[in-house]
Amino acid sequence: MENYVICKCKQVSYFDVEDALHNSKTFSDVEKTFEEVQKVTHCSTGCGGCHDKILDAISEIMSK
């Protein structure tokens, strides 16, 4: 699995999201998990254009 930048505004990478998920206990609901990841990484607090990509990454990591 290659790392890549998901959120250009905040320079948040796939691995950053993965790390944030590993520190989070909320795995039941993608939107809730997204909020947790956002608190840790500040992803999607700039233009917001990466929101869906972050959600996709979270779903992918959660289903691993």
Interacting residues toward ligand FES by CB under 6 A: 7-10, 43-44, 46-50
* Residue 20 near residue 36 (C-beta atoms within 8 A): yes
Q: Which is nearer to ligand FES, 10 or 55 (CB)?
A: 10
Q: Which is nearer to ligand FES, 8 or 39 (CB)?
A: 8
At 52 the three-state DSSP class reads helix
Q: Which is nearer to ligand FES, 41 or 61 (CB)?
A: 41
> Where would I find the beta strands (DSSP E) of the chain?
5-7, 12-13
Nearest distance from residue 32's CB to ligand FES, in Å? 19
At 7 the three-state DSSP class reads strand
